[in-house]
Amino acid sequence: MMNLTHWRLLIAITETGNISKAAERVGITQSGASQAISSLEETLGVQLLVRTRGRVLLTSAGERVIRHAKTMVAEFEAIKRLGKEAGPANMNRVQLASSPTVCTILVPPLLGALKRTHPDVRVVLLEGNENDIASWLKDDKVDAGIVVNPPHDSGAVILCRSSWVAALPQSHPVALSDLTGGIDICALIREPFVVATSCCAINRENALHSSTLSPEDVRATVRDWHTALALAENGLGVTLVPAIAVPNWISNLRIVPLSSPIPCEFGIVPSAMGSRSCAVHALLDHVRATKVE
């Protein structure tokens, strides 16, 4: 008779090259391991292992068998994970990834409203930068993530719409000029610049139209829009942020729209795993039913 312990043992032997070490790894005695391998070989009708002086090696038949054994054990572990994820403890849980700035701006009102409409859904926040969020979504480490300007084919539901604005110190010569029609981004990037890469560095390039249109004098590169605004407020340079990221406490900055507006969207993107979650669908349905600004 064959069972998963046999296959785990065979895999452990190929990884350690030693039956006693493999037996210890899977939690059986060395004699039990030897009997299990003999039983496995007898059932299959082929020799799987050959014992040399220093190491136990796979035969050619064993090489072919082990590939399927690894796949089988991996699939079984995946089934166990699915069962755990679908269990009562996690059925209503959503792991939501976001940048620190977005967590401050958009997440609190979102969760407050969600609690009223879907009190059983529990959201667990995970903060990270744009690379973290992309990686977590790709690897199914989170159920969903808040992304700036998500791709059209990502399954995103738009949470909020904004536009990029310039933030200049009140004493800056450009800030003292007539900016009734907004500011030309070409003029902005010639000034000392504080680059904020919060949520997605790529979107900073989008806001600058192309990667060839970059700030000429970068004084600081930070991950958080609020940090960029604080540095600009203290005269380090000008910066570019979404309008929604400008807090009420800013007093020593002049916030100016771009003369050629550039939109900025925040969307909730589900991972492949999250797209199968009832709790994630509840979150996305709630966002769809909410008026987008």
Fold of 160-265: D-Maltodextrin-Binding Protein; domain 2 (3.40.190)
- Which CATH number is 93-152+268-289 given? 3.40.190.10
pTM given for the model: 0.61
**27-41, 157-171, 175-189, 225-239: least confident range:** 175-189
pLDDT at 147: 92
Q: For the chain, which residues make up each domain, given as ranges? A: 4-85, 93-152+268-289, 160-265
Question: With bands split at pLDDT 50, 70 and 90, how would you rate the model's confidence at 200?
Answer: very low
pLDDT digit string (tens) for 100-127?
888 888 999 999 999 998 998 999 999 9
pLDDT at position 270: 96
**Mean pLDDT over all residues of the chain?**
86
CATH architecture of 4-85: Orthogonal Bundle (1.10)
DSSP string of the chain? ---HHHHHHHHHHHHHS-HHHHHHHHT--HHHHHHHHHHHHHHHTS--EEE-SS-EEE-HHHHHHHHHHHHHHHHHHHHHHHHHHTSTTTTTEEEEEE-HHHHHHTHHHHHHHHHHH-TT-EEEEEE--HHHHHHHHHTTSSSEEEEES--GGG--EEEEEEEEEEEEETTSTTTTS--TT-B-HHHHTTSEEEEE-SS-HHHHHHHTSSTTS--SEEEEEES-HHHHHHHHHTTS-EEEEEGGG--TT--SEEEEEBSS--EEEEEEEE-TTGGG-HHHHHHHHHHHHSPP-
What is the average per-residue pLDDT within 2-30? 91
* pLDDT band, residue 69 (cuts 50/70/90): very high
Predicted local distance difference test score (pLDDT) of residue 210: 40
Are 93-152+268-289 and 160-265 in the same CATH fold?
A: yes
